[in-house]
């Protein structure tokens, strides 16, 4: 069978599983909620519903999409050998037009403007930009079971000179005196701040119990006052604002070994868009990382996807290939594997022949 013929466009369902190889942690604004310590300091995973421990966590598709799009940018840059200017780099990486030319272009009432631009710049057609919807969908990564969360990165940060006092001999007399003051201030501040934090926890517990708005507002004012006292205490001490030796609450992460369900639908792609998608995924597979805490080697994953399409005259979709990647490599297998690998080669040749213009993002540039 042949998937792509001439200028044919086709929609493909790409579904599969992502396996977590090292803890994956993604933290967004406002995702935190009160932990067992009574604070919101511990970075939390996004929740698919009410923000509490029992709610299913997930990894936003945007985290995967960003890595995939950056991989596509690197592919195009490597193949063209070009050093893109700032405007093109922003457009390819994030779909952002820093020139504001896309807003200014007039497209109302015109028919067929998109297709010439999509053919000229398959990157933009695949990943999209303002006013030009992309053909690549990236779904959220959903754990196969909810009980997959643990706290990573916790522990205690120690002061190097308390852990190994012999290091003091390498300091000048002035620095040794400064160190003594830092350690003394750290000890006093930690004790005082600890008492103030307990006071905040108690006040917040009272706020949860009362219904009267005025009483709640008064309690909130007390919380703000105590928080200001903590900030002042930290500002008065020698050395860093935060005490050097202190417990680290850590952060939530998806546990290694967890299987995440994932979907990457491609809508009405042509052969060159499909080829670029495969090149991008192959590039991403060389350093497959999602989320933060890279200093802890977090975020690594492997994956396997099924590629299928739904023939017009059939009642079930038809699987045509399987994509998988892990630490041993990137592989395409199945009935259409030969065609898909051939498309990758054709795409590379077309780029080197100058058949595309990856700097084009306006309808007028494709005329």
Convert the pLDDT of each residue in 137-169 to its tens digit.
Answer: 999 999 999 889 998 887 666 777 667 888 888
**Final residue in a domain of this structure, among 193, 228, 248:** 248
* Dist CA 89 CA 233 (whole Å): 45
Asked if residue 111 is part of any domain, the answer here is yes
> Is the separation of the CB atoms in 268 and 9 below 8 Å?
yes
pLDDT at 17: 98
**C-alpha span between 49 and 140 (Å, rounded):** 14
- Domain ranges, residue 220: 155-248
218 and 240 in a common domain: yes
pLDDT band at 259, cuts 50/70/90? very high
- Per residue in 275-294, is it b (16+ CB within 10 Å) or e — as a string? bbbbbbbbbbbeebbbbbbe
The reported pLDDT for the residue numbered 305 is 98
What are the backbone dihedrals phi and psi of residue 269, each rounded to the nearest 5 degrees, phi first? Answer: -95, 150
Question: Is 4 a member of any domain?
Answer: no
Q: Is 224 within a domain?
A: yes
Domain co-membership, 31 together with 133: yes
Residues 136, 228: one domain? no
Residues 242 and 96 in one domain: no
Q: Pick from 248, 274, 298: which residue ends a domain? A: 248
More confident: 244 or 179 = 179
Q: Write down the pLDDT at residue 170.
A: 80
Angle at 16 between CA 11 and CA 18, to 5 degrees: 135
The answer to which of 90-94, 241-245, 320-324 has the lowest mean pLDDT is 241-245
Residue 40 reports pLDDT greater than 80: no
Answer for the pair 233, 3: CB distance below 8 angstroms, yes or no. no
pLDDT in tens, 1-26: 789 987 789 999 999 999 999 999 99
DSSP annotation string for 57-123: B-B-HHHHHHHHHHHHHHHHHHHH-----HHHHHHHHH---TT-HHHHS--TT--S-HHHHHHH-HH
Specify if 174 maps to a domain: yes
Residue 131 covered by a domain: yes
Q: What are 111-138's pLDDT values in tens digits?
A: 578 899 999 999 999 999 988 899 999 9
Q: Is the residue at 358 inside a domain?
A: yes
8 A C-beta contact, residue 274 and residue 9: no
Is residue 244 predicted with pLDDT exceeding 70?
A: no
CA 11 remoteness from chain centre: 26
Q: Which has the minimum average pLDDT: 62-71, 100-109, 204-213?
A: 100-109
**CA-angle at 321, arms to 320 and 326, nearest 5°:** 165
If asked whether residues 137 and 76 sit together in one domain, one would say: yes
Between 174 and 157, the higher pLDDT residue: 174
pLDDT surpassing 70 at residue 240:
no
At 180-222, the pLDDT tens digits run 777 776 666 666 667 777 777 777 777 788 887 877 788 888 8
* Domain termination site, one of 248, 264, 280: 248
Q: 283 with 362, same domain?
A: yes
| Ranges 34-38, 42-46, 142-146, 261-265: which has the least confidence | 34-38
Taking CA atoms, 330 is separated from 92, 134, 281, 287, 326, in Å, by 24, 24, 9, 11, 7
Q: Smallest Cα–Cα separation from 59: which of 253, 249, 305?
A: 253
- Does residue 1 belong to any structural domain of this protein? no
DSSP class of residue 159 equals P
**First vs last C-alpha separation in the chain:** 34
Q: Which residues contact 224 (CB under 8 A, 6 or more apart)?
A: none
pLDDT for res 190 = 64
Two tokens, residue 359? 């700097």
Which residues have C-beta within 8 Å of that of residue 180, sequence separation ≥ 6? none
Give whole-number Cα distances, 323 to 53, 216, 337, in Å: 34, 56, 9
Question: What are the tens digits of pLDDT across the range 269-319?
Answer: 999 999 999 999 999 999 999 999 998 999 999 999 999 999 888 999 999
Which pairs with CB-CB distance under 8 Å and at least 24 residues apart come from 40-47? 41/249, 42/151, 42/249, 42/250, 42/251, 42/252, 43/251, 43/252, 44/251, 44/252, 45/149, 45/252, 45/253, 45/254
| Residues 142 and 50 occupy one common structural domain | yes
Residue 38's Cβ-count burial label (10 Å; 0-12, 13-18, 19+) is: middle
Same domain assignment for residues 231 and 326: no
Q: Based on the domain organization, do 228 and 298 belong to the same domain?
A: no
Q: Is 174 exposed, middle or buried (0-12, 13-18, 19+ CB in 10 A)?
A: exposed
Asked, for residue 339, whether it belongs to a domain, the answer is yes
pLDDT at 335: 95
Among candidate residues 151, 148, 152, 123, the one with its CA nearest the CA of residue 135: 123
- Whether residue 132 sits in one domain with residue 22: yes
Please give the tally of structural domains in the chain. Answer: 2
Say what the pTM is.
Answer: 0.80
Statement to judge: residues 228 and 291 lie in one domain = no
User: Phi/psi at 5 (nearest 5 deg)?
Assistant: -130, 135
45 and 116 in a single domain? The answer is yes
Q: Is 20 helix (H, G, I), strand (E, B) or coil?
A: strand
- Residue 106: the pLDDT is 66
Find all residues with CB under 8 Å of 68, minimum gap 6, and list them: 136, 138, 280, 281, 284
């Amino acid at each position: 069978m042949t998937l792509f013929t001439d200028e044919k466009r086709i929609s493909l369902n790409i579904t599969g599983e992502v396996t977590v190889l090292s803890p994956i942690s993604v933290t967004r604004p406002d995702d935190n909620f009160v932990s067992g310590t009574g604070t919101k300091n511990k970075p939390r995973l996004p929740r698919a519903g009410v923000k509490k421990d029992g709610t299913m966590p997930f990894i936003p598709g945007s985290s995967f999409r960003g890595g995939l799009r950056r991989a596509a940018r690197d592919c195009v840059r490597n193949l063209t050998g070009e050093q893109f200017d700032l405007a093109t780099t922003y457009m390819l990486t994030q779909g952002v037009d820093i020139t504001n030319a896309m807003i200014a272009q007039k497209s109302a009432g015109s028919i067929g403007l998109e297709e010439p631009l999509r053919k000229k710049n398959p990157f933009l057609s695949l990943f999209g930009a303002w006013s030009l919807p992309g053909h690549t969908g990236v779904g959220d990564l959903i754990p196969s079971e909810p009980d997959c969360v643990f706290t990573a990165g916790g522990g205690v940060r120690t002061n190097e000179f308390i852990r190994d006092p012999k290091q003091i001999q390498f300091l000048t007399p002035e620095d040794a005196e400064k160190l003594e003051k830092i350690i003394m201030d750290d000890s006093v501040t930690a004790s005082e701040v600890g008492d103030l934090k307990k006071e905040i926890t108690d006040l917040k517990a009272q706020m949860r119990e009362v219904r009267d708005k005025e009483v709640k507002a008064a309690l909130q004012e007390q919380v703000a006052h105590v928080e200001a006292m903590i900030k002042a205490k930290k500002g008065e001490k020698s050395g860093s604002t935060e005490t050097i030796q202190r417990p680290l609450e850590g952060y939530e992460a998806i546990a290694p070994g967890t299987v995440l369900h994932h979907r990457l639908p491609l809508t009405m792609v042509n052969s060159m868009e499909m080829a670029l998608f495969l090149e991008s995924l192959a590039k991403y597979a060389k350093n497959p990382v999602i989320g933060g805490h890279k200093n802890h080697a977090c975020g690594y994953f492997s994956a396997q996807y099924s590629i299928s399409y739904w023939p017009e005259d059939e009642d079930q979709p038809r699987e045509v290939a399987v994509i998988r990647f892990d630490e041993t490599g990137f592989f395409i297998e199945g009935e259409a594997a030969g065609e898909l690998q051939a498309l990758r080669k054709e795409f590379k040749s077309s780029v080197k022949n100058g058949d595309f213009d990856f700097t084009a993002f306006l309808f007028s540039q494709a005329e």
